Amino acid sequence: MTNDSTDAYADFERRVDSIEGGYEFLLAYAAQGRHTDRGAAPERNVRNYLERMEKALDGFGAVAAACAAQRHAPAADCAAFLDAVARDAEVAQGAIRLVLAQADISSQLVDNLNASIHLRALLTDVFIVDEAFKPRSGERS
In a domain, 139, yes or no: no
Rounded Cα gap, residues 71 and 87, in angstroms: 22
Higher-confidence residue of 39 and 9: namely: 9
Helix then strand then coil, in percent of the chain rounded to 5, is 75, 0, 25
CATH of the domain at 29: 1.20.120
- Output phi, psi for 39, to 5 deg: 90, 0
* pLDDT tens digits, 55-90: 999 999 999 999 999 888 888 899 999 999 999 999
Is residue 138 a part of any domain in this protein?
no
DSSP SS3 for 36: coil
Rounded distance, CA 85 to CA 102, Å? 26
Q: Is residue 140 part of a domain?
A: no
CA distance 54 to 58: 7
Predicted TM-score of the model (pTM): 0.88
Label residue 141 by pLDDT band (50, 70, 90).
very low
